[in-house]
Structure 1
Amino acid sequence: MMTHVTTEPSLHIQYTDSDTAKLSVPRNADQGHNNVAGWKWSVFARSPTARKQHFVVCFSGTTPEIFLKCFAEFIIESHTNYLLSLPCSSSTMFGEHFKVRKAFVSTTTEHLLQQMKKMFLQMQQIPHRINSPIPVVYVFSGTGSAWTGMCKHLIENNHTFKAAIEDIAVSLRRYVPWSLTKRFAESYDVGDLIFDPVSIFACEVALARLWQELGVEPSAVVGQSLGEVAAAHIAGILPLDEAVKVVFHRSKILSQTEEGKMILVRNLETTKVEAMCSKYKGKLNVSLFHSPVSCSVSGDRKAVDALANEISLHQSEIKIIALDRSRAYHSHHMEVGQQQLVQELNHLKTEDPSVRMISTLSPDYTSQDIRSTKYWGQHLRQPVQYCEAIRTAVSKQNAILLEIAPRPILRAHLKDIFFDRPSVPLCLSSMSYPGTNEDLLESAAVLYEHNINIKWEALIMENTSSPE
């Protein structure tokens, strides 16, 4: 049952009670803020069925001065004691919130109070700026972001996420004899060359739908390699059945290509890496440009090993990381597969985009280019201009980059991508190991502070498993 307890306009308290416990508002909370207008706080609780109880507590005020005054009183009166004693399954908040905002994600009273005191001291020392809503760019990652067991928790506990996975599973059954939902439930091996990319695509689409349900709509989308398929779907270019068609045939063709090797080279100008690759007479390719000083190299195994040795001998400060890939993506190994994919995607059905999609083949490509079958063939072979696409996404606007992926990837390269800026764009994650909803809560809290109105009820964690 949803209960609203509202005192004078100075204080706005909202919560849900359950059958096992009811929350009453302490009198001192009522008396403490009766004379101050323009102040609200609310609490959102995660379901007790989850492995660890998490709460989001949100505060807002009309001005920094009112916010600080009421916030200080709240800390002194220790209202946190009953805030985090709620064993609710659906505590959430509704209604309008003021422009000066702070949100905290916590599991204990002590941790919450510690966070609040730290923030209060910071606000005293640094004048608080009221944030205007900032455009959000969805960034979808590619192969290498999967891990065994991902999605299982959200499928079991969030209806929106589960429904998205089930929609994809139904579409996928046109091509495979196995069940996507069953493989997620069984924590199937993501080393499988078909399941791995399909699982990443499914995870990303489900996360994107969950963010949209939360009220966070993208101003633009960017996809890294495989991630472009999910990006094209969320942008409205590829209907779900067509996106699944692209993912399946792309994955099947890649699984049948000649084996190769890939490495990540960091702290070395990509122009120098390209020059070094050219000496290997077509056996090596720069496959992905992460930043001006970081790139992936794909090609013949012996040639990749030789390049790694060459770099390590002369450049001791350079980092060379062997990537866990059995195929040389975006290299000459993909040339036959490129032709095969174009044939398989004959009569691909596309639609006009509802959201701007920035291509990682070239940011200059239009939606008409992306809608062509030829594009998805080139997408398999050509290098990924990830750095250029990310820069383009925030070149004309101050945007928040929201990673829609099983694990954060982009954040590690941000300083190098925006080497010419005094600060880098804010980058938030959606999921990381072990795959509960902490990343979602933390990122949603940050977006709330940037005056994006979050529909917290979409994050209520409820067991979605069918009864046996």
Structure 2
Amino acid sequence: MEQAKEDYSKIWGVINISAVNQNGRSITPITRPSQIEQEKLLRSIYGSRVDPSVVQYIEAHGTGTAAGDPTEAESLGSVISKNRSSRVSILKIGSVKGNIGHTESAAGAAGLIKVLLMMHHGKIVPSLHYSKEMSSIDTEKLNLAVATAVEPWEESSEYGRVAGINCFGFGGTNAHVVVRQVRQPEPLPAFKKPLELVLLSAASPKSLQMTMADTAEQLSARNSVTLPSLAYTSACRRSHASYRYRKAFVTNSLQHLQQELRLAASTEPAISKAEPQLVFVFCGNGVTLKEFSEALLSSEPVFRDKCKEIEDLFQQHAAISLLPARNHSPKDLLNPEFSQPLLFALQVAVASLLKHWGIKPVAVVGHSVGEVAAAHIAGYLSLADAVKVIYHRSRLQAKTPSGRMLVVGNIPVEEIAERLHPYSGKVCIAAFNSPISCTLSGSVEAVEAVQRELAEAFRQRNIFLHVLNVPAAYHSPSMDMILRELEEQIEPLEKQKGEMEVISTLTGAAASENDFSQGKFWAQHTREPVAFTRAIQTAARGRENVVFVEISPHRALQRSIKETLGKGTKVLSSLQTDAE
């Protein structure tokens, strides 16, 4: 129940207690009810575990037979009614069988559903076709009452609405449960998402077409359906894994969804030739950080709780406040002591939410500092250890001299490297982003000079030049002064066996659990250039139908990935901050 509350699920009721017994040899024939065993069953519950005065309604098994109904009523009157306080109202009884008939093995479930609906609406509904004159039950003698009209079901101040439910098997098995109402706090106000995702699946093309057509028809017939509820149920309350034919609809209204469903139902669905193999790609420094996604904080408990957990871990090291980020100035967002923890928290929370939704990668890649979040999501670093790495890395990088980083694109990296020879020791390649893109790092003056020279030399070749919004020259000799302290401060790190492959941008190859548990690895990772091109090539090698998913506040690495592997490469964004 705690999990249901955390997820803000609708809790219809709680089964407080249940009991089962068997008539056995106490009576013959086997189909005849036993009052002795029924009373014994009820006493096992109402004798010492539940106060009979608390129960307001009994959903009877109600076989409708001359032997069954009087026997059941006598046992209820003897055990429950006669032991109730005189200050409480008469015990109401009823049975759903008058509405839907005998349901055999589903009889107990039908009674439970009826009781939960009555609790929800606060009404006790009549038992159809019952009349006192025709009944074989002496309700006055037994202090029972059968509802013959809709009546309000009042809540008790202490327990709310409480009911007992009988269910008997024709072979002599007797069962009884006590159900109580749950008072839930007001749910979070619904956050209207600009778009919703509705998922449908089936075992065959024909079946999927029929499902789409039927869903479109149901949307016309039912006024109570809401788009958020339909999207949630289709994604989280249906299993699609075993069905090969699937269709996803991105929509902003029920009317639009209905149109798309009808259109899709009239065309032959295509089968996916191979399951997509997801690779999560975590961005590094230099992305534009604004604030946490308001939509996710407001509507997704998993995202919100993970952000809070990370903030609590950072606060064990320093007074870092990540929630909400909007209280911070633009200057704060440039400070690595704040921007790197913020980026890490956002990435881990987004990836955790995707995994919660069942969207799990086969491998992960982290560009620069993004590898810390990648290593945690892959299972190689505990969250506490990952926070420790980020904290010390960002704290020490804030002490390094100011510098500048310049992204260069549309020119082969080898040509850019040749142009840097006169600036040896002043400007270096900090990141190999793609075969035709790299990031330069160095002092402000030297990078400015290189920028002017490159702009002039390649002005006829559509060179791309962009200065990153970072305060220091990361992955350059400027980092040398902090490496020893960084290595010492982040150890020890617990060695953990990962769940998936991490392609490290330190080497461009798959890393091991031994790498991530060493302070020396993370010190080298801070200093050496980012081998992103090689890492992306490694991630795609030997895999079919690879789909890259950027774990970033906005699209940052899509261009580099497509330049490395080809324009047809599938790259998706997990967030679009401006569009929520």
How high is the TM-score relative to the length of structure 1?
0.75
Relative contact order, CA 8 A, sep 6+: which one is greater? 1
Matched, 1:145 2:290: no
Paired residues, what number? 389
Matched, 1:429 2:570: no
Is the deviation greater in 195-204 or in 307-316?
307-316
Equivalences for residues 252-401 of structure 1 within 5 A? 252-316=395-459, 317-364=462-509, 366-367=511-512, 368-398=514-544, 399-401=546-548
* 1:350 positional shift: 2.9
Give the distance between the partners of 1:335 and 1:70, measured in 2 at CA. 62
Q: 1:272 to 1:119 in 2, by over 3 A?
A: farther
Per-residue CA deviation, residues 274-325 of structure 1 (Å, 9 max, x unaligned), is 1112221211111111110011111111221121111111212111112111
1:92 maps to which residue? Answer: 233
Assess if the C-alpha contact under 8 Å between 2:508 and 2:532 holds in 1. no
Give the AA of the match of 1:406.
P
Give the distance between the partners of 1:167 and 1:140, measured in 2 at CA. 20
Assess if the C-alpha contact under 8 Å between 2:550 and 2:574 holds in 1. yes
Q: 1:111 to 1:416 in 2, by over 3 A?
A: same
Give the distance between the partners of 2:373 and 2:499, measured in 1 at CA. 14
Give the distance between the partners of 1:88 and 1:236, measured in 2 at CA. 32
Percentage of identical aligned residues: 30
Assess if the C-alpha contact under 8 Å between 1:221 and 1:356 holds in 2. yes
Q: SS of the counterpart of 2:302?
A: helix
Equivalences for residues 455-466 of structure 1 within 5 A? none
Give the AA of the match of 1:319.
F
* 1:217 positional shift: 2.3
Equivalences for residues 7-406 of structure 1 within 5 A? 49-52=190-193, 54-68=195-209, 71=212, 79=219, 82=222, 86=226, 91-93=232-234, 94-97=237-240, 98-113=243-258, 115-116=260-261, 123=267, 128-181=270-323, 183-184=324-325, 186=327, 189=330, 190-316=333-459, 317-364=462-509, 366-367=511-512, 368-398=514-544, 399-406=546-553
Give the distance between the partners of 1:349 and 1:57, measured in 2 at CA. 41
TM-align CA RMSD: 3.0
* 1:210 positional shift: 1.0
* 1:66 positional shift: 4.6
Q: SS of the counterpart of 1:347?
A: coil
Give the distance between the partners of 2:365 and 2:547, measured in 1 at CA. 13
Q: 1:176 to 1:294 in 2, by over 3 A?
A: same
1:415 maps to which residue? Answer: 562
* 1:430 positional shift: 1.6
Assess if the C-alpha contact under 8 Å between 2:334 and 2:471 holds in 1. no
Per-residue CA deviation, residues 182-235 of structure 1 (Å, 9 max, x unaligned), is x43636642333111000001111111111211222211111111011111112
Give the distance between the partners of 2:468 and 2:345, measured in 1 at CA. 22
Q: 1:312 to 1:269 in 2, by over 3 A?
A: same
Is the deviation greater in 90-99 or in 368-377?
90-99
Q: 1:278 to 1:369 in 2, by over 3 A?
A: farther
Assess if the C-alpha contact under 8 Å between 1:286 and 1:383 holds in 2. yes
Assess if the C-alpha contact under 8 Å between 2:334 and 2:469 holds in 1. no
Is the deviation greater in 377-386 or in 54-63?
54-63
How high is the TM-score relative to the length of structure 2?
0.61
Q: 1:347 to 1:134 in 2, by over 3 A?
A: same
Give the distance between the partners of 1:345 and 1:52, measured in 2 at CA. 40
Assess if the C-alpha contact under 8 Å between 1:297 and 1:304 holds in 2. yes
Per-residue CA deviation, residues 240-272 of structure 1 (Å, 9 max, x unaligned), is 111111101110111111111111111000111
Assess if the C-alpha contact under 8 Å between 1:363 and 1:392 holds in 2. yes
Q: 1:120 to 1:248 in 2, by over 3 A?
A: same
Give the AA of the match of 1:414.
I
Q: SS of the counterpart of 1:275?
A: helix
Is the deviation greater in 233-242 or in 263-272?
233-242
Give the distance between the partners of 1:151 and 1:130, measured in 2 at CA. 32
* 1:164 positional shift: 1.0
* 1:406 positional shift: 1.7
Give the distance between the partners of 2:367 and 2:221, measured in 1 at CA. 45
Structure 2: runs of 5+ lacking an equivalent: 1-9, 13-116, 122-187
Give the distance between the partners of 2:224 and 2:251, measured in 1 at CA. 9
Is the deviation greater in 188-197 or in 213-222?
188-197
Give the distance between the partners of 1:225 and 1:147, measured in 2 at CA. 16
Assess if the C-alpha contact under 8 Å between 1:84 and 1:107 holds in 2. no
Q: SS of the counterpart of 1:434?
A: helix
* 1:83 positional shift: 8.0
Assess if the C-alpha contact under 8 Å between 2:277 and 2:362 holds in 1. yes
Q: SS of the counterpart of 2:364?
A: strand
Is the deviation greater in 324-333 or in 93-102?
93-102
Assess if the C-alpha contact under 8 Å between 1:152 and 1:185 holds in 2. no
Assess if the C-alpha contact under 8 Å between 1:253 and 1:337 holds in 2. yes
Give the distance between the partners of 1:220 and 1:293, measured in 2 at CA. 24
Structure 1: runs of 5+ lacking an equivalent: 4-16, 21-46, 437-468
Per-residue CA deviation, residues 165-191 of structure 1 (Å, 9 max, x unaligned), is 12111211122124333x436366423
* 1:381 positional shift: 0.8
Q: SS of the counterpart of 1:215?
A: coil
Give the distance between the partners of 2:264 and 2:447, measured in 1 at CA. 49
Q: 1:391 to 1:193 in 2, by over 3 A?
A: same
Q: SS of the counterpart of 1:180?
A: coil
Assess if the C-alpha contact under 8 Å between 2:373 and 2:386 holds in 1. yes
Give the distance between the partners of 1:199 and 1:227, measured in 2 at CA. 12
